Amino acid sequence: MKKRFALLEIFKHREPRLLITGQTISGFGDGIANVALILLVLDTTHSVSKVALFAAARMVPTVAFLLIGGAIVDRFSRRLLLLVSDLSRALLTAALVAVIVSGTLQFWELLVFAFLFGAFDAVFMPAISALTPEIVPEDLLNAMNAVRPLSNSFVGNMMGPAAGGLLAAWSTSFAIGVDCTTFLFSAGALALMHATPKPPRGDEPNMFHEIHVGLRFVRKNAWIWTTLVGVALPNAIIFVPTSVLLPFYLVHDLHSPKYVVGLMFAAFGFAGTIGALYAGSMKTPRHRIRVMWAVWTLGALSALTVGFATHSWEAFIMPIISAPTMFIGNVIWESMLQSEVPRELLGRVTSVDWFVSLGISPIGLVLAGVLSGRFGVQRYFVVAGLICCLPGIIIITSRKINEIDRHRATKEGASSRDQPPTAVTPLAGLPPD
């Protein structure tokens, strides 16, 4: 099979086709709701710190429950967990619409909604990553890991936000109601998929021991834990706060109309679509860690462009650069985890991934709101961009962290010379304590 047709090859398989269809429809609703909710909080509070607090309220339970969520994902059918998550979030969204329509909505109620929503995200995120290798052939993992962000970028981050800016200007409750409907479509697609079995269980006596096993696996593999620690900083002070700081900067500093906020998210989605298209058809690089961190570091540096923006179109440069670099790096990373981590540990390792990489993001959101409110959004992004170059430089230049790719490159080199492979690294396992 030629690599350039890998993205199309995915759609020949029934289960991935249903999953992608449902998630694409749900992503469109999420894109609408994300813009509508940010504008709703801005309209009612006129405070960047309150918007940051709302975003943090959703992220805190996600981070707090991720390790438990990963253990749950490794105990039950991943497809069933996704179905429960979608139905629960549809119910929560419908309740929020009812409160908005009643005219009694208060800020604390938005915080409660965000908290409950984030709790279900803690199961959804590791579940969808762990389900992927169960329904997709290994040679199509790169393509599948690109198709999901591709559909999310084109529909969820481009079409959805563009529609969200227009719909929210007309009716916030209707915009969020659309998101509720799309969750039901996604649940329907999951219901149509064939049932997936429970993952194989080890001899762990309880859930807390299972979490410990996942943490120990991560600790024993330097390429995993260093990457997780490394991405925690740019996630916390650049990429997560961007969804709050750029809308505030456009509306309150540049006095742009509301639809420009939707267009900004759409620009991110368009650029991400280009990156995902490339990532889905690219050959897996021999030096995966170095290539991944090179593109992520470029994305962090794009924050510097906000410091020199004086017009709304100039503020679009950052998402246009950061989106494709983020998606390309993420596709390499997800494929590495799905190829190198034993299947029965994948849910827990993925939950540790999300837990560490997003662990300090709630604090980063609140801190970003306070610092940008005091020193200005532009100064904040310049300083943050410079600080976030450091993890990439350290990891790219470390021989120990890149050791896993040295063995892989040796294997590929031997294969290209039609020789039997020597010293091939086995699938990473858990060394004894």
pLDDT greater than 90 at residue 386: yes
Instruction: Report the length, in residues, of the chain.
Output: 433
Residue 176: pLDDT above 70?
yes
Of 43 and 245, the structure prediction assigns the larger pLDDT to 245
Q: What mean pLDDT do residues 177-189 have?
A: 92
Cα dihedral: 128, 238, 227, 329 (round 10):
60
pLDDT bin (cut points 50, 70, 90) of residue 256 is: confident
The answer on pLDDT for 257 being more than 80 is no
User: 419 vs 152, which has greater pLDDT?
Assistant: 152
pTM reported for the whole predicted model: 0.65
Cβ neighbors of 63 (< 8 A, separation 6 or more) are: 122, 354, 355, 358, 359, 361, 362
> CA quadruple 419, 423, 428, 429: dihedral positive or negative?
positive
Distance CA 211, CA 72 (A): 10
Over the stretch 359-378, which tens digit does the pLDDT of each residue have?
888 888 888 888 887 888 88
pLDDT at 42: 77
Examine the pLDDT at 146 and tell me if it is beyond 80. Answer: no
Banded pLDDT at 297 (limits 50, 70, 90): very high
**pLDDT tens digits, one per residue of 405-419:** 876 555 554 443 343
- Residues 288, 215 contacting (CB under 8 angstroms): no
Whether residue 88 is predicted with pLDDT greater than 60 in this model: the reply is yes
**Whole-angstrom distance, CA of residue 322 vs CA of residue 303:** 8
pLDDT value at position 294? 94
Residue 203: its pLDDT value, please? 57
**Mean pLDDT of the region 174-194:** 91
CA 220 – CA 224 distance, rounded (Å): 9
| pLDDT at 410 (0 to 100) | 53
Q: What is the pLDDT of residue 62?
A: 85
**Mean pLDDT within 240-269:** 80
Q: How confident is the model at residue 420 (pLDDT cuts 50, 70, 90)?
A: very low
What band does 84 get if pLDDT is binned at 50, 70 and 90? very high
| CB contact at 8 A, 153 and 327 | yes
The C-alpha atoms of residue 429 and residue 361 are separated, in whole angstroms, by 30
* Phi then psi dihedrals of residue 255, to 5 deg: 55, 40
320-357 pLDDT tens trace: 899 889 888 988 898 888 888 887 788 788 888 888 88
Fold of 3-192+206-416: Growth Hormone; Chain: A; (1.20.1250)
Proportion of the chain above pLDDT 90, given as a percent? 20
Of the listed ranges 29-33, 51-55, 180-184, the one predicted with least confidence: 51-55
Q: What is the mean pLDDT of the chain?
A: 81
